Amino acid sequence: MDYVTKNKVSLSGAEILLESLINHGVDTVFGYPGGQIVNVYDKLPLYEDRLHHILVRHEQGAIHAAQGYARASHRIGAVMVTSGPGATNVVTGIADAMIDSTPVVVVAGQVGTKLLGTDAFQETDFIGLTSPISKWAYQIRRTEDIEWAVSRAFYIAGSGRPGPVVLDFTRDAQVGMAELKGTTCDFIRSYRPIPEPSEESMRIAASMINKAKKPFLVYGHGIILSEAEKELEAFLDKSNIPAGSTLLGLSALSTDNPHYKGMLGMHGNLATNTLTQRCDLLIAVGMRFDDRVTGNVSTYAKNAKIIHIDIDESEIGKIIKTDVGILGDAKHVLSRLTELIDKRESYDWQMEDIMCNAVEKHKVIDPEINPGEGYINPGEVVARVADKTEGKAIVVTDVGQNQMLAARYSRFAQSRSMITSGGLGTMGFGIPAAMGAKVAMPDRQVCLFVGDGGMQMTIQELGTIMQEGIGLKIILLNNNWLGNVRQWQELFYGERYSATRMVNPDYGKIASAYDIDYAFVEKREDLLPAIDKMLSDPTKPFILEVHVKESSLVFPMIAPGRSVDEIMLTSDESFEYGN
């Protein structure tokens, strides 16, 4: 359509929208048509060669796919849905993207401006619904505003602390005519996405780091979002400070990195949680002290001074009192701090994690991943997949035990290799997010770990996988329970298993209905060959169902609201540092 832009011919709003999506680098849009977006769909075939539309089976699938796409690729995910139910169906994903800082742009159809506020067919107050859970929500009422709105949307979604942006696209704007201008946006006067860190605060922080006897660094998603992986590594190499990751920070440091001590929080490693409590200086980078990380806030990192580095001012001091807050981009702040700190070879306290690791290996890890006999454990499946993929796969998870075990027992050789719903904990995230990840990164293996509950929340997307031939690998850890809730019921609710038993369908028949290759494993000796078979062709989808130990529990565990040093090793044994 080049002649159109050159000659400044008027285009319809629908075309302008598609042109602007393409101008902003969109090559894939996940969506679902309907009455108030049909004008845009009508023009879609004109752009077929530049914009690939993936028809999902439910709009929730579209937004989670866009999230997976964005997280795997550092690009901005794009979603297109109709008004009313199409729009409300993406609300969960918008909330999920907001809390996990994922850049996505959602375009939703809307009724004509004359009908707004009249309860017209499929009218819903989408701006009202989404403004508390999005980074920006804007209603496009005039065709001539489309390019302005789209360019702002992409700038806002991707800059600073990323997040979801909503464009409520009225029918009038879609059908009106205007000229294409090629508008871009890199500035909004009310918005400062990247604050300039204060040199003074960085100097104070550096001197605290230089003086600390037992420093510990914790990092989160911010490292990946600011592409600060190398800077983090350089900081740790120079300072020799041990580090732990939040769930969303996983893969920012390779699991082989000598400074990496594991995952933090409720089901994190003994070492990281113990170091948190024993350190005299906690350096937090690009993380927000979620309660799944801190446990009881009043005893969290109780011996430590706190340095908090974040790009979002409202995070600093929100949960934890900080001694020094550094407002800025992790990449920039870490590289400056690395210049400012002294080189240190080692710390006396560096060995403290070794004892924790020995206990964890003996009491938790070995029994989980190398049980030798009996039922297959879910963590064992994760560990075998990690062996076979050598930590090179993109790991996607659903929510529940499958997620915690995938986080604990996966290995990561490179960044952007862990995609999971952290802050919202959205069951059903897994299948569509893995789809999006595979579409974004077709050359990487994408391995999804999902429970039987979460699998069925978005199982309809198998249709999308079939239609598009998306080669993701679905590893269904079937325990016939809503395992994570069952675990709480067993441990904290007197074994009253209310509404957590799940009768499952025959997944083999489902796979065959969708023409997806499938294997079922319940004996240990069949596991490795089945994984090999699954991984043999990275371009083809595969469902590997493993019947895992039904009453399996995820440990270590810090019970909700408990202090980070009250760690359960098993149902009736807790961890005491030094014993």
Ligand X SMILES: Cc1ncc(C[n+]2csc(CCOP(=O)(O)OP(=O)(O)O)c2C)c(N)n1
Which residues form the interface with ligand X (CB under 6 A)? 398-402, 425-428, 451-454, 477, 479, 481-485
Residue 7 makes contact with other proteins by CB under 8 A: no
- The contacts of residue 536 (CB under 8 Å, 6+ apart) are none
Q: Which residues contact 477 (CB under 8 A, 6 or more apart)?
A: 378, 381, 401, 402, 405, 449, 450, 451, 452, 546, 548
Radius of gyration, CA atoms only, the chain: 24
Q: How far is the CB of 66 from ligand X (least distance, A)?
A: 18
Q: Residue 449, interface with other proteins (CB under 8 A)?
A: no
- CB nearer to other proteins: pick between 3 and 187: 187
CB-nearer residue toward other proteins: 12 or 139: 139
Q: Considering Cα of 454, then 457, then 463, then 464, what sign does the dihedral take?
A: negative
Closer to ligand X by Cβ: residue 477 or 568: 477
Residue 157 CB, shortest distance to ligand X, in Å, is: 24
User: Is 196 an interacting residue with respect to other proteins (CB under 8 A)?
Assistant: no
Instruction: Report the residue number, 153 or 399, with the smaller CB distance to ligand X.
Output: 399
579 burial (CB, 10 Å; 0-12 / 13-18 / 19+) is: exposed
Distance CA 102, CA 74 (A): 9
| Nearest-CB residue for ligand X | 451
Side chain identity, residue 308: H
* Angle, in degrees to the nearest 10, between helices 59-73 and 91-99: 20
Tokens at 278, concatenated:
């024993």
Question: Binding to other proteins by residue 298, rule CB under 8 A?
Answer: no
- Which of 121, 191, 492, 493 touches other proteins by CB under 8 A? 191
Site for other proteins contains 336 (CB under 8 A): no
Q: Which is nearer to other proteins, 165 or 287 (CB)?
A: 165
Contact 242, 217 (CB under 8 A): yes
* Number of residues near other proteins (by CB under 8 A): 20
Does residue 312 belong to the site contacting other proteins (CB under 8 A)?
A: yes
Of 29-37, 129-137, 368-376, 420-428: span binding other proteins (CB under 8 A): 129-137
Please name the amino acid found at residue 127.
I
Concatenating the DSSP letter of every residue in 112-173 gives -GGGTTTT-TT---HHHHHGGGSSEEEEE-SGGGHHHHHHHHHHHHHSSS--EEEEEEEHHH
85, 258, 317, 508: which one contacts other proteins (CB under 8 A)? 317
CA distance 336 to 332: 6
For residue 373, with 0-12 CB atoms within 10 Å meaning exposed, 13-18 middle and 19 or more buried, which class applies?
Answer: exposed
- Judged by CB under 8 A, the residue of 128, 469, 508, 561 near other proteins is 128
Minimum Å gap between C-beta 243 and other proteins is 27
For other proteins, what does the binding mask look like between residues 152 and 181, x meaning CB under 8 A?
----x-------------------------
Question: Which residues of the shown chain bind other proteins in the complex (CB under 8 A)?
Answer: 127-128, 131-132, 135-137, 139, 156, 187-191, 312-314, 317-318, 321
